[in-house]
């Protein structure tokens, strides 16, 4: 359940004001009674391993030119989104109101519950599974997670690999989980083992 924004907070409803807003049509209502208590960290780059373009933003807004790169044919017609995307330089975009359900997790199970899209916030980092992420991304992610934890009853932060372990591998071994664990030490937020 979302909280109302107070004057002076960095939120306008479920929109985080420090993020660049870019609306995705790929979202829906959360189920009645859903408690938003999970942040899911993903990684994405389009084409894989290429950074700095706008293909991810185009994918999340259903405007990707499927003929612009041979790889795009393998994902042609995909309608997905995440709430947030963090570029290599730490720039932050938001595509879906955090009070709504983005389409980022797919078939998933975590903390004893299925369908993690129902009660999670999806954050995509520009990167490739197994490769390192950049310092500005960790700073932006930490600030975002802290802001989310002030607005929602966040109890867990996990990777896509943890909520869909036989299907997904992101963000992968290049992601330094200890950075987030240290930033949220004593907060009560639980991380994957």
Residues labelled catalytic: 124
The answer to whether the CB of 192 falls within 8 A of the CB of 177 is yes
Question: CA-CA-CA-CA torsion for 107, 73, 61, 56, nearest 10 degrees?
Answer: 90
Cα–Cα distances in angstroms (integers) from residue 180 to residues 90, 95, 138, 159, in the given order: 15, 23, 8, 12
Alpha carbon distances (Å) from 124 to 59, 80, 139 = 12, 12, 14
Chain position carrying tokens 């129902």: 118
């Amino acid at each position: 359940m979302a909280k109302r924004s107070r004057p002076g907070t960095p939120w306008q409803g479920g929109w985080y004001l420090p993020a660049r807003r870019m609306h995705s049509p790929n979202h829906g209502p959360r189920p009645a009674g859903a408690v938003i208590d999970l942040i899911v960290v993903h990684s994405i780059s389009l084409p894989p391993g290429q950074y700095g373009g706008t293909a991810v933003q185009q994918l999340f807004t259903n405007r990707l030119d499927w003929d612009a790169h041979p790889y795009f044919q393998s994902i042609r017609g995909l309608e997905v989104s995440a709430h947030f995307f963090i570029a290599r330089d730490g720039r932050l975009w938001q595509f879906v109101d955090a009070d709504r359900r983005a389409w980022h997790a797919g078939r998933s199970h975590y903390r004893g519950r299925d369908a993690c899209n129902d009660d999670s916030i999806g954050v995509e980092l520009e990167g490739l599974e197994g490769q390192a992420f950049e310092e500005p991304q960790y700073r932006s992610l930490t600030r975002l997670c802290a802001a989310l934890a002030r607005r929602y009853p966040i109890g867990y932060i996990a990777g896509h690999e943890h909520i869909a372990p036989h299907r997904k591998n992101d963000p992968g071994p290049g992601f330094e989980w200890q950075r987030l664990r240290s930033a949220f030490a004593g907060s009560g937020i639980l991380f994957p083992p």
